Structure 1
Amino acid sequence: MSRTVPLMLELSAADPRPIVKQICDGVRRLIATGELPVGAQLPSVRGLAQQLTINPNTVAKAYGELSSEGWLDSRQGLGLFVAEPRQRYSEAERERRLGLAVQGFAAEVVGLGYPLEVVLDRVGEALAPCLERRSA
């Protein structure tokens, strides 16, 4: 039986995203970078809520969203585990989500005044660990 892997998530009240979204995004990132390997057991709802000092319903909602998206597998009586990678969205949905993400990112970054090369370098640095894991 696998051991529960602690989740090193940072939540911020200053972040405009809801706490549920921060948890989901953090878990997705940990899975994408390989910090949470396939088969790793996540903390219980109550355990993570206690660790993050938030309401257990918030963690349950985030875990439910991640499970419905295929990031996590629920095993009756055992808990939640990182799921095997698979195609989570249709091609049209993937394209739609990419477009929304790029538009949102561009809207946030354009006002910062960085040259395009600097922005692209930073994006490449942020994505490299995730993309290297996918091709390995």
Structure 2
Amino acid sequence: MDLDRALTISAAGMTAQSSRLRVVAENLANQDATGTAPGAEPYRRKTVTFERHLDRATQIETVRPGRVSTAPGEFPERYEPSHPAANERGYVRTPNVDSLIEVMDMREAQRSYSANLSVLETTRSMLQRAIDSLRA
């Protein structure tokens, strides 16, 4: 049963990190999405939180993606008087997405996903060896 628990926990971790990667991809895709009218708010960076989840039937505590929320903070401004969203001074508010932070978040999520995948593959291999030894 401990191997079953390991499979459940690592699969939940992979699901959580997949959700995080989707949010990072959305942020990177919208890092240049400004408003279309003067004073319009540009794209606001999103973040995902994780929450602990206890499966009462199996007594396994896992992680799962929580709420996706927007990051607080000011929008950087860029001088571009010909832009449709430029204010009276010629500045356009740009998204609060920093590509360096997003890439670091992506790398961290990839490494965590990969670690959970390794646990899953190792556990599966151990189960297969146990089945093979029972057949012999």
TM-score per shorter chain, which class?
Answer: under 0.3
TM-score when scaled to structure 2? 0.26
TM-score when scaled to structure 1? 0.26
- Point out the structure with max Rg over C-alpha: 2
Q: Say which structure is richer in strand.
A: 2
Question: Greater relative contact order (Cα 8 A, min sep 6): structure 1 or 2?
Answer: 2
Q: Say which structure is richer in helix.
A: 1
